[in-house]
Amino acid sequence: MNTPGTDQLREIEKSGKRVCIQTFGCQMNEYDSEVVKAALEKQGYVLTDSEEAADVVILNTCSVREHAENKAFNKLHLLCREKKNGRPNLTVGLMGCMADNYKEKLLKDFPQLDFVAGTRNVMDVTRLVKEIEEKRSRGVPPRNDSAGQDAQPTRLGLARNGTQTVIARSPAGATKQSKSLQLAAISKEGWWEEYAETVPRREGVRAFLPIMTGCDNLCTYCIVPKTRGREVSMRGGEIVDQVKKLADQGYKEIQLLGQNVNSYGRRYVGEDESYRTRKEPNRFPELVAAVSQVPGIERVSWMTSHPKDASRELFEVMRDYPKVTHWFHLPVQSGNNRILKRMGREYTIEEFHEKLELLRKLVPGAAVSTDMIVGFSDETDEEFEETRRVMEKFMFDSAFIFKYSLRKGTPADRLPDNVQQAVKEERHRVLLKLQKEVSRKVNDAWIGRQADVLFSGRSRVSDQDLIGEMRNHKRVVVKAPAAFMGNVKQVRLTRLKDETFYGELCEV
């Protein structure tokens, strides 16, 4: 655990209100945590990385991978035990995908947990913390599990389609809820504007910006449709306006976020019949092009994409607009068609390869990363071998390789999880080793070449060096003056260490 510095401790002692937020999972969760941090700061809270120094600890959780979920559960166990055994005034909250996945069960299983807030109720967290602390300051005692009382969670809002979740525990002695607690659910129409306006300027040149939430795909292994609901996109004009504000604040790169950004525009927040006729970007290639033309923005990237929705039009935008990234994260998940069908991926490996080849033809030098799952239901040795050959043939720049873990509540819950753990481990090891070799071959081909690098920060090793990224997302370290931070400069790549390039400026 990190310990706050002297200056931070003075601030903490002066304010008396300290909050620690720990984030598990994806960039969307990172963004949500920033929203909550900013909102709490506006209420006078001081941020700290130290759980020991905090009055409030909030876990922002992920249910996509078993590993991330287990880490969050372990941390929650420790916090609740601390609260029970000596820190009774500690406020413990949980937000994110696990809140939507487990709902009231979390409060029943963890008697010391104060509140749970779902992914579409991020803006409620501040109010919940304030309500809980105000009641505690008035002497309303927290529910005491050791006294034998039953856990009785109070539902604050389970809005519309059942994906918005905000629930909290009624303190012992509380006879009625406040009106604000009863009206917890944020309206769809007001959600994103307030949400996007909340995030403050942080150090760095890259800003994350959600453009949509939820997912309409039904990949059998994935919990996201259950935890984040159906796809809802933010209006293109509002997104461009937000990008202009971020550019004015000094950000140079915008990373557009969504569970499947390629399907942006199918359903809008507060959609009416007239919206699609307005002169605003309402499909993803149009949106990327519009964002890239905002003055002050030097690079536009995105996460994440579904292969079935990746289009020639988007590849052409990458080719034709100089500030658009040449990096594409395209999760293939398996190299075998039967497994892909069993996963509900809606493409064949041949169709995926065709799109990959088109991307590389239209955007020379594009870097393609991917996700791969080994040990999915019924995967045979022969089917895994097909996946290994695909990894070898397709030459991905990098890959996130996962051992399949069954997620309760997904369609795959009805399928047997019948590949032995030892087999999953071995397949995982084989692909990691192969991808390391492939990545080295791909990266070695860049040595001696020149590339445009957007400088984003100082090296931790030497204050004489800046760190940046090429247009294809590859990391570069260069000896350069601090004045180049946030600028794009031509760099000659001279050597490679692990997955980091080192280079020299072509001109000073």
Which pLDDT does position 359 carry in this prediction? 98
Residue 432 lies in a domain: yes
Q: What CATH code is carried by the domain that includes residue 310?
A: 3.80.30.20
424 shares its domain with 457 = no
Residue 275 burial (10 A CB sphere; 0-12, 13-18, 19+) = middle
Give yes or no: residues 295 and 397 share one domain.
Answer: yes
Closest CA to 405 of 100, 163, 75, 70: 70
Same-domain pairing of 49 and 150: yes
Residue 209 belongs to a domain: yes
Tell me: pLDDT of 438 over 60. Answer: yes
Q: Stretch 343-361: mean pLDDT, rounded? A: 98
Reported for 461-467, long-range contacts at CB under 8 A and 24+ positions apart, including other chains, are none
Within this chain, do residues 480 and 393 fall inside the same structural domain, yes or no?
Answer: no
State residue 29's pLDDT score: 83
Using CA atoms, how far apart are residues 67 and 159, in angstroms rounded to an integer?
A: 29
Q: Would you say residue 29 lies in a domain?
A: yes
Question: Do residues 75 and 101 both lie within one domain?
Answer: yes
Give per-residue pLDDT as tens, 131-175: 888 888 777 655 433 222 233 333 333 222 334 455 555 444 333
Assign residue 84 the CATH number of its domain: 3.40.50.2300
What is the model's pLDDT at position 200?
58
Residue 420: inside a domain: yes
Residues 6+ away with beta carbon under 8 Å from 437: none
Q: Are residues 180 and 83 in the same domain?
A: yes
Domain assignment of residue 79, yes or no: yes
Residue of 276 and 350 predicted with greater confidence: 350
Number of helices (H), then strands (E), belonging to the chain: the values are 16, 20
Indicate whether 395 and 496 sit together in one domain: no
pLDDT in tens, 191-242: 445 555 666 556 689 988 889 888 899 999 998 888 888 888 888 998 999 9
The residue from 173, 189, 205 where one domain ends is: 189
In the chain, the amino acid numbered 162 is G
Q: What is the mean pLDDT of residues 77-81?
A: 94
Q: Are 364 and 289 part of one and the same domain?
A: yes
Residue 159 and residue 15 in one domain: yes
Residues 271, 300 within the same domain = yes
Please provide the average confidence, as pLDDT, over all residues in the chain. Answer: 84
List, for residues 13-59, the tens digit of each pLDDT value. Answer: 455 689 999 998 887 888 888 888 988 988 889 999 999 999 999 99
Q: Is residue 1 part of a domain?
A: no
Give the pTM: 0.80
| Structural domain total, the chain | 3
State pLDDT tens for residues 365-377.
999 999 999 999 9
Residue 320 lies in a domain: yes
Report yes or no on 37 lying in a domain: yes
86-138 confidence digits (pLDDT tens): 899 899 999 988 888 888 888 889 999 999 988 878 888 888 898 888 888 77
- pLDDT computed for residue 160 by the predictor: 25
pLDDT of 12 above 50: no
CA distances from 417 to 314, 330, 346 (A): 37, 25, 21
pLDDT at 199: 61
Choosing from 168, 189, 210, the residue where a domain stops is: 189
Which of 444, 462, 492 finishes a domain?
444
**Are residues 324 and 248 located together in one domain of the fold?**
yes
Domain interval for residue 463: 450-505
Handedness of CA 379, 385, 388, 390 (dihedral sign): negative
Task: Quote the pLDDT of residue 163.
Answer: 41
pLDDT in the model for residue 66: 80
Do 32 and 66 lie in a common domain? yes
Residue 415, Cβ density class (10 Å: 0-12 exposed, 13-18 middle, ≥19 buried): middle
